[in-house]
Amino acid sequence: MITLRDVAKEYRVGDAPLAALNGVDLEISEGEFVVVMGPSGSGKSTLLFTVGGLLTPTKGHVLVRGRDIYGMSRNERAKFIRANIGFIFQSFELLPYLTALENVALSLYLSDIPPSGHHGRAKEALERVGLFGRTFHRPSQLSGGEQQRVAVARAIVKKPPVLLADEPTGNLDQKTGDEIIQLLLELSHKEGLTTILVTHDQAKAKMADRRFTMVDGKLSGGESN
């Protein structure tokens, strides 16, 4: 489902190059739940954004569903990413003046799904994450865990085969964070989602099918749990 071949990403800091990714090779099969761990600044979020089509690598190839996403035109890549990848972020990224239903439905506006079906799909996604009763609540009326569930619903509403989660429990307490990881695991295994979770929490990493470690832009590990 996901293949990285000798992927590198360099930034310039003054006159010196800084390697955020350093020759990363990775193979993730369909339906796998994979965790990438590492300290701050190790390159794990850069890796996630590169897989997600948001950050062009300096060199190497990134294949999703067999397609080299950086070999596409910008418009082709944007359309492919919208159809195939769902994103979950640490800070929820919900619009405060929209209801949970509207926040989820917003993800469908650039899709091929007719507008008449947007609210129905959004309600279904909210039900899948256990929030059907919060349909018309705004973010300020929801707990942190509920807001992140809305964000998960928004990521899965288009039924993408790939889910990318960047520190999705970073703003949550331990118990609520564990519940969110358990939800992601259930979605991954029940619906065959290929999931990459970036975290620094070793306890949460133990829930994954496989775990990797990122240090100084280099990826190691891949052990099964």
HSE (side-chain half, CA atoms, 13 Å) at 105: 17
> In the chain, where are the structural domains located?
30-56+79-224
Distances (CA, A) of 214 to 4, 23, 35, 115, 145: 14, 12, 10, 41, 27
Q: For the whole model, what pTM was predicted?
A: 0.91
- Residue 115: per-residue pLDDT: 79
Query: Cα 89 to the chain's mean position, in Å?
Result: 7
Into which CATH architecture does domain 30-56+79-224 fall?
Answer: 3-Layer(aba) Sandwich (3.40)
pLDDT tens-digit profile, the chain (225 residues): 999 999 999 987 777 778 889 999 999 999 999 999 988 888 899 999 999 999 999 999 999 999 999 999 999 999 999 999 999 988 888 999 999 999 999 988 877 777 788 899 999 999 989 888 899 999 999 999 999 999 999 999 999 999 999 988 888 888 888 888 888 888 888 888 999 999 877 777 777 889 999 999 999 988 786
- Residue 140: per-residue pLDDT: 94
Buried b (16+ CB within 10 A) or exposed e, 60-98: bebbbbeeebbeeeeeebeebbbebbbbbbbebebeeee
What is the pLDDT of the chain when averaged over all its residues? 90
- Residue 193: per-residue pLDDT: 92
